[in-house]
């Protein structure tokens, strides 16, 4: 029998390489083991064909792996997606990481309109985290894609880690791989050490990157939030709803008894109140349709998947049915948030709206972000 003495780890996801079971993580055909840079079959396909393969790790296993941080000492960098704060902020993080201090980092800043006030946004994030029950030592804003804010964040990490390890924690798709690649490039000049992709859940094991002689930066598996809309839409629709460029807010002046459709994925009915501006922050590629409330059901029933698209056919087969939530906005500017899809900002004085969104998607109200 052939003996393999060396233990190999996939360069993409960090899983232990094995050639026995194609269904399990880290599988690589024996023929490729001699190569210098070994990628597991999953990362190989991801890298070369941009496709994802299912593996046998469950959400619970991921969580268990990340929870081992509570037995270690270091700084936890919690990366969130600024476009989907509600879907990516891990309010139960203290239970996962124990006593370790948490630095909150809002990624994808480049998606917000350039006019957005950065200081206001940082304060907003700090308040939101606190309201959601998450205590953090500091807040930073970055764009891993553009490199914005990376220098300041590196300095912040150096200050707060006090010579200890750094754990990078986040839900899938917040940009963790892009972020770590950017940090590595920042310090070593090397490109794309970690695989990134459009699809949620690409980072598997713990990947350790040396920071100095004694400490490491540790990438942890992305935590899956089943409530995120991205789990219920097709690859093609994901590309439409996931913004890749600066969002151009779309403004609609609505009278009561008018409706806005966001593709056919969600809808907002303006039930009662004076004429108002509804400022919509969604991917520029997501079509928005205005109609009369009285015609909205008919439009939905007859044009879903055509005029009201996305959803495409694949998404329609996966997506839970739309359910209705009623909100009454009192004073001040509020955002009506469709986690993973976007939000609508309304300066509300005693107005009533009804929101239709896929069941399980936690629509909510928050203080306006912008």
Give me the residues that bind ligand GDP (CB under 6 A), please. Answer: 107-108, 110-111, 143-145, 170, 172-178, 196-198, 202-203, 222, 244
- For ligand GDP, which is the closer residue by CB, 202 or 225? 202
- Indicate the residue among 254 and 341 with the shorter CB distance to ligand GDP: 341
CB of 156 to ligand GDP, least distance (A): 17
**Least separation in angstroms between CB 224 and ligand GDP:** 10
Minimum CB distance to ligand GDP smaller for 84 or for 165: 84
* Least gap, CB of 12 to ligand GDP (angstroms): 11
Which of 222, 348 has the CB closer to ligand GDP? 222
Instruction: Report in angstroms how near the CB of residue 242 gets to ligand GDP at its nearest.
Output: 7
In the bound complex, which residue of the shown chain has the CB atom lying closest to ligand GDP? Answer: 175
Estimate to the nearest angstrom the gap between the alpha carbon of 336 and the chain centroid. Answer: 18
Taking the least distance from each CB to ligand GDP, the nearer of 218 and 296 is 218
The least distance separating ligand GDP from the CB of residue 17, rounded to whole angstroms, comes to 20
> In angstroms, what is the minimal distance from the CB of 327 to ligand GDP?
29
Choice between 35 and 48, CB closer to ligand GDP: 48
């Amino acid at each position: 029998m052939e003996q393999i003495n060396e233990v190999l780890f996939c360069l993409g996801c960090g899983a232990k390489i094995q050639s026995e079971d194609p269904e399990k993580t880290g599988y690589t055909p024996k023929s490729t083991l001699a190569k210098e840079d070994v990628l597991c079959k999953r990362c190989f396909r991801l890298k070369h064909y941009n496709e994802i393969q299912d593996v046998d790790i469950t959400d619970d296993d991921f969580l268990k792996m990340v929870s081992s941080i509570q037995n270690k000492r270091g700084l936890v960098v919690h990366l969130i997606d600024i476009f989907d704060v509600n879907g990516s902020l891990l309010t139960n993080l203290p239970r996962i990481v124990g006593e370790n201090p948490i630095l909150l980092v809002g990624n994808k800043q480049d998606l917000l309109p350039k006019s957005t006030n950065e200081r206001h946004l940082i304060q907003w994030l700090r308040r939101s985290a606190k309201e959601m029950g998450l205590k953090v030592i500091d807040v930073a804003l970055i764009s891993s894609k553009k490199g914005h804010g990376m220098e300041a964040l590196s300095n912040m990490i150096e200050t707060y880690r006090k010579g200890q390890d750094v754990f990078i924690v986040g839900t899938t798709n917040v940009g963790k791989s892009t972020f770590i690649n950017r940090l590595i490039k920042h310090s070593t000049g090397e490109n794309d050490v970690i695989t990134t992709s459009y699809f949620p859940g690409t980072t598997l094991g713990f990947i350790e990157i040396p920071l100095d002689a004694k400490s490491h930066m540790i990438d942890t598996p992305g935590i899956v939030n089943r409530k995120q809309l991205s789990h219920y839409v097709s690859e093609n629709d994901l590309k439409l709803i996931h913004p890749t460029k600066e969002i151009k807010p779309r403004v609609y002046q609505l009278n009561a008894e008018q409706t806005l459709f966001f593709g056919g994925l969600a809808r907002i009915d303006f039930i009662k109140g004076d004429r108002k501006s509804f400022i919509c922050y969604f991917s520029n590629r997501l079509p928005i349709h205005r109609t009369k409330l009285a015609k909205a059901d008919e439009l939905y029933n007859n044009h879903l998947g055509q005029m009201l698209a996305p959803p495409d056919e694949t998404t329609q087969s996966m997506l839970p049915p739309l359910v209705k939530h009623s909100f009454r906005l009192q004073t001040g500017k509020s955002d009506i948030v469709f986690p993973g899809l976007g939000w609508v900002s309304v300066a509300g004085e005693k107005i009533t709206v009804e929101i239709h969104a896929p069941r399980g998607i936690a629509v909510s109200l928050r203080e306006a972000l912008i």
